[in-house]
Structure 1
Amino acid sequence: MAKITSRKSTVFFNLVSILFFVLMVYMVESRVVGTVPQPGLVCNEVVAVKSGDTCFAIAQQFDLTVEAFRFINPNLNCKALFIGQWLCIAGQST
């Protein structure tokens, strides 16, 4: 009985080891070979939020559409602007 249990344990250990090795190779290959540079955004000009400013007002002030303003400020919460916050008013994709 001890030989059967030992043999099952050995087979299980070998399977786990092979799966671990395959997973490691996959992870290394995907980092080295599969890395593609992600497009980013370069901000060329910024403005500081003043008291009473809104996203719409700032976009109008710098002749931007609301869509363009949101594109160059992707994580901006327009309902939570604060005085002194820097907003991008001119930018480009990389």
Structure 2
Amino acid sequence: MAKSTNAIAIILNLALMLALLHIFPVAESQFFGNGLSTLTPIHVPVCDQVYGVNSGDTCLDVAKNFNLPTDFFNSINPNLNCSALFIGQWLCVDGTVT
């Protein structure tokens, strides 16, 4: 009986050690960060005016109608899929990127 108790204790200790070895690098990277935030600035768009998409609108049409350069239009509408616009979708047409 004592041999099986020792074997179980050894197995549990090994499992605990493996878990700690796995958890420590993850916790350390969350605490110290991965260093990319200092290299890659985070730009946050702030929208001041929106436009609801109408039938037949394209991103280029909307940008032209509001006299917006396409780069600026894209920067105030991050993650916009211009090939999948839908009627009523809100697009930012005036704002800033900080």
Q: Shared topology, TM-score over 0.5?
A: yes
2:64 corresponds to which of 57, 60, 74: 60
Question: Paired residues, what number?
Answer: 92
For residue 11 of structure 1, report the CA deviation from its aligned partner.
7.5
Q: Deviations over 1:25-53 (max 9, x none)?
A: 22122223317597232222211112232
1:50 maps onto 2:49 in alignment: no
Segments of structure 1 that go 5 or more residues without pairing to the other structure are 4-8
Amino acid at match of 1:21: L
State the identity %. Answer: 44
For residue 86 of structure 1, report the CA deviation from its aligned partner.
0.1
Normalised to the residue count of structure 2, the TM-score between the two structures is: 0.64
**Aligned residue runs from structure 1 range 1-94, under 5 A:** 17-34=16-33, 36=37, 39=42, 40-94=44-98
For residue 16 of structure 1, report the CA deviation from its aligned partner.
5.1
For residue 59 of structure 1, report the CA deviation from its aligned partner.
0.3
Q: What stretches of structure 1 move > 4 A for 4+ residues in a row?
A: 9-16, 35-38
For residue 77 of structure 1, report the CA deviation from its aligned partner.
2.0
Segments of structure 2 that go 5 or more residues without pairing to the other structure are none
Normalised to the residue count of structure 1, the TM-score between the two structures is: 0.66
